[in-house]
Structure formats: C-alpha cells, structure tokens
Structure 1
Amino acid sequence: MPRWSAIAARLTAGATLVLSGILSSCQDSGPRFFDSSNYPEQLSEWQLLQVRSGQLELSDAVLPYELATPLFSDYALKLRTVWLPDGGSARYRDNEPFDFPVGTVISKTFYYPMDTTTTDEPRLLKASANTSLMNSGSLALDAARLIETRLLVHQPGGWEALPYVWNETQTDATLQITGDIQRLQLEDSTFAYVVPNRNECASCHVTDQNKGDLSPIGPAARHLNRLVTHTDGEQVPQLDVWQQRGWLSGLPTTERIPVNSSWDNTGNTTEQRARAYLDINCGHCHQPGGSGDTSGLFLHAAETSAMRLGVCKPPVAAGRGAGGHRFSILPGHPEQSILSYRIQSSETGVLMPELGRSLVHEEGLALVNSWIADQTGACN
C-alpha cells in the first residue's frame, strides 16, 4: 500500500494550484434540496446529474468519489457523488462515516458496461469493481446501461433513502419507493436484478440497531483514503481533495488516517485484501450494534479477535445457513467453512449478504477462500 504522505509530499506547487483552480471554478446553479414532504418524481429535478446529448453529466457542484474496496452488486459499476449545502462541511471521524451536515445529498448510480461490438442487441458485461467508464465528468451512454440511482438525503430528522429507477430510453430515473426487479442479460446468463425498496435500505444503512437511524457507509476515512486521478492527470490523495473543497474539517496527518486495502490489488497481502472485502460487504451488519450482532460474528475492519472473526467459531443457531458445517472458519479448509458456504450461495435464506446481490461474486469468493486456506491451526 503506498504511503499517502510520501505521495502528497511529491505534489508540486503547480499541481496544487491547478487543483485549487478546478475546485473553485464550480459555478453552475447547483443541485436542489427537497424536504421529505416534497421529493420529486424525477431524478433530474435534484440537478445532481443530467443526461445531455447521449452523456450522463455531473453537476459541477457535486464531488465524485471512489472507495478503496467497493461493495459487490452483481458486477455493476457505481458512480458515487456527494453534495454539501453552501457553507457546509463534514466532520472527520476515524472509524465511523464522516459527520455530514443537514442538507447533504449522497448519490450512487448503478450501471453496466455494454458490449457494442456485436451485431445483435448489445449485451451487458461484468465489470471489475475498481474500474469506471467516466471521462472528464461524463459517462457515454452508448457504452453503458444505467439501472438505478440511490440517494441518501440528510434531513433535520436524519438520513432518508430514495431509490430511482432509470427508464428504457436512459433519459431520466423515476422514484420507486417500492423498489423494482429487472430481468437482465449479463453476458451469457439472465438474472434478476433487485432494486431495494425504501424500507429495505435500512437493512444495511441502519448500522446501529440501538439507535435505528440510517447512516452512510462508504464515506468513511478507511474507504476514502486512496489516490484518485484529477482532470490534469495528477494522482492525488482523495481526502485532500475533500479538504481543498472545504467539505472536510478535522483531517489529521496522513499517518493517522486509517486505510483499507483494495481487494484486487495483489501488491497487498491476502489477509489485507480479504479483510477489506469483508469489511465493506459484511462489516456494516456484522459489527457491534449491527443487524448481525447477535451472531457473534464480527467482520468490520476494527475487529482483532480471531474467534469473533469466525476462526473456530460455531454458529449461534445451526440451520441450513450453516450448510452442515461446524465453524464459521475452519483454518485451512474453506470448503468446510460456513463463511465461504454462505458467500458462494445464491439461495434465499442462505446467501450472504442477504440483500444487494443475486449473483455469486466468484472473484471475491476466491479471495476469501484463499485467506481461509492460508490459515493454520485446528479447532477442538
């Protein structure tokens, strides 16, 4: 993992001035904020992003961001943006998502790359989680299929989730409180892509069942602590970009900021990659206070106990979710580990995560299996 401090030190004064100029030039009319009694039917009314001339274009006022390791969602790509109201700034926190001001709107647009080389109907392609089709703030829609955009809106009473589903003509998305199910042809197979309803969003975004409030997941220090490419081609620390824009206060020195590995970066250890993968895919539920708390299995980044991570840990309630296996992780034996069994399942009531996917992430499963296979020891 690169040292962000060393990279930041190599930024020239000229590059810093270019970055500052880019950020200060955001002069469009900007997104609109709606109270919870007046949510618009069409996504375009938020003015976060618009379709123009076959391109999905971001408002100059929003800030796109990327995660070190993103959540798997049936091989879809995601375009993430954040917008803060005038004068607003998020407060840095080490391990929790940043403390965003009321009026913040976070968006996540799910889309697939398309194979346009065939003479038949263009087919959707599986995408690597850490790639993007964005180019200079826009996405060419002749090479992509938009599926949905989810908003998290910070109202005075807390965060609220809104699912918008894109139409067939790819011109706008409509609010679908009840969610949606679409049959998609992904490469050589067809599957059911599920857009969660508004209540189902709480299954992931209520990270503390004792409070019951929705919360962002991705905009946390360890997920955002990575390099991103700016329009001048310079690789810069992403959190510095947030701070330059005035949207992040209290950022500590680089050495003190936690960092997650990229799950597919083979330059990191298998353990680092697997822990980052489990953290973003499972840790929001399997953490103290989360919906998976009662299982006794904790997969968030801060967990250090091998037993709580699943090593030689029997299930709290044996059932078909255990697949007849005795331990969450049996060192050296992923084929006998409940964790692997549930990640490789696509059966309702068995698969994990319970929501957000219909397909098995074969590459993620292989990573977790390798991590378990590397472990030594025996369970009594």
Structure 2
Amino acid sequence: MKLNNSINMTPHNRQGIKARNVELTIDFNRKLKDTYPRPVELVGPLVIGGFPKQHVMGFVGCIRDIYVEKEWVDPRKVVGTEYAHGEVSLDNCQLINPCNNPNACEHGGQCYLDGSRFKCNCNGTGYTGKTCHFSTYKRTCQELFLVGYRKSGTYKIDIDRNGPLPPAHVECDMQRPDGSIATKVNHNMQREMVVRKYGLEGFYMDITYREFTPEMLQSLIHASKQCYQHITYECFKAPLGLESYTWLESSSGRHYVTSIGSGRPAWCQCAETRSCSNASRLCNCDVADGRWRLDEGIYDRPEDLGIVSSPERNTQQYVITFKTAPSYLEVQTGWRRGDLAFSFRTSSKRAVVLYQAALHEKHGYLLAMITSARVPEAYKFEALVN
C-alpha cells in the first residue's frame, strides 16, 4: 500500500496499522485501506525507521509512543542494544523543520519539504535558483538595451538584482537623440495641480512613485551617472515664498528642499541667471504683480527631491561567458579597497571564481572558489593580508 497524499508537517504525526483489514491510518484520519482474505501475521522481526536492504530509504526524524498489539514498547530497552543500528539516540530530538528558518527561501519564495530536504517555489517572485536568490530581471534600462531591447516603453527592472529590494516597473526611453538610455519612474502628481489659491489655508501632498519606495529611489540615484527632475510652478498673484510658504522634502529624508533650479536656499533659477522679472526678487512668482509668471528648474543633486529620470552609468555593459576551463579574464588595475561584487552562474562543481595574486612575497592574496556542488560546503574563501 502507498499513501499518495502528503502528511501535515506537525511536530508529530500519528500512524497506525490494523492487521485485520490492512488499514493504514495517519493522524486518526483514515487514508488508505485494503482487504486480505487470510489473517495477517507478522513472522519476521518488526523494523521501525528503515529497510535493511535499502539503506537510502531510511527514515530521518523522531519517533515516540510505539505500541505493538496495544502493548507499549519501552525505547530504553531497544536504544543502545544490538537491536538499534546506526545513529539512534534517546530523548534527543533536535530535528527542526527547515522551512521554519526565516532565511530558507528568499524574496517571498514558498518553502516546502520534498522528502527530508526543503525546496523553494519561486513562481511569481521574479527570482530563481535553489533559494530564489537570483533575479530574473535586469538592473536598469541600460542593461535591457545591451541584451537587445530597442523599443521604448514600460519594463520591469530590479535595481539591486539579488538584493532585498523588489522588482518594479519603470519607463525606458531608448530613443534619446544623444544615444543615452534613460530610466524614468512615474509619480502620482498630475501635470497641472492647484497647490495655492485664495481660501486654501494649506496644501500638502505625499508624492509617491510607482512601486518605488524612497530607499529604492536612492538606490537608483546612486547607481546612475546622472539623475534629474524637472519642476514648474505657474502663478498669478500666488507667490512662492520659498522657506516660509513653500518647501519640499527629498527622497533621502535628510533635509528639506527650499529652492527651484538652484543650490541656494530660497533661490529660483532666474536668480542664478539674473533673469527674474524683478531684480529685487529671487523668484519670478514672488513679484505678484497681477500677471501670469513662471518659475522652473531642474534638480540634479542626489540629496534633493526624489529623482524620476536617470541616464544610466555604464557599470555593467556586458555579460562575460567563459566557455572553457582554462579561460580567464585579467583586470589590469588590481582591487585595493572598497566593495567588490558580481553575480555568476555555473554548472561546474569545482572552479576558481576570483583570484588576486600577491605582487611581492610579503604581500597578501585573495582567492574565492567553488569546491563542491553541495551546500554549505560549496564555497571556499582564502585571504592573506600582511
């Protein structure tokens, strides 16, 4: 008889066999039964936890409350005797469901048990691998362009690849006149929105970006060569009053932005270029002379407002493939300090991933290699620093 349905992963599962009707019961719920025309008798010794002829099918786990013909079997009379084979201990059940480990599956992958091992279901997460570690999305629109995408539109990217930040949708502009590739993040503010008028005591708006948190915005900013955001304020007798009436908060959360198109507090771009409609004012809208005025500018400092347009820095232009074991890539400029990061995929069970030799006898060296296909013995890291 075989039980096709899986059992619940409770601390203990109760199993019982009734010999008369050859009935198998799991957790008091009848699961499988069959009839046998003659009485069922046990002739040979009863073996619990394995099958002597098939050692690979042995049970790994804990057993308690053993009853044979309604008689309790005292484990103390079995464990530690010639009847116990292999590694069998008493009152030492330390097995833990590996799926209870919070780091069993990454990025929202669903953990489940397959025999005595755990596996991760990565469907719908945007990640792949044994523990859902590797992102299936590119990091930027620039990387999408480098692998063959040419049409501008909405794409999903993962700005930190295998890191904790989730994938998100962005707009990729791949047809810019200067040949650069731009990653744009949409926000929830309408193109024309009244923020100040007579009778409106105060206005506050929490500007959010599509699927982007402030942390994700900052990650995109720091991974880009240049970022900028354009802002326009049109007015009719509605002065800006930067620092006193109007201020903005950046996605960095470290300070308020009190300028438009300028790095100086309370200044607008027209003050920088000395083109304000009134030379005594720092912004056009502060004139309040009964005419429609306009102040606009571009933020390009990382510490200013949340950025939505990012021409990318070419930090990872190509994916390198080593086709034979003797192949390697030599970087002329050695790594001395700071972070070093890269992702790799391989079917090799043993391979050197990274090596930096010592320049002199008393200098240090660095070695990272794959030593086995098994985890956690898979990686070896050696470093000697003098």
Larger Rg: 2
Shorter-chain TM-score range: under 0.3
Q: Which has the higher contact order (CA 8 A, sep 6+)?
A: 1
Q: TM-score, normalised by structure 2?
A: 0.21
- The structure in which a higher percent of residues are helix is 1
Q: TM-score, normalised by structure 1?
A: 0.21
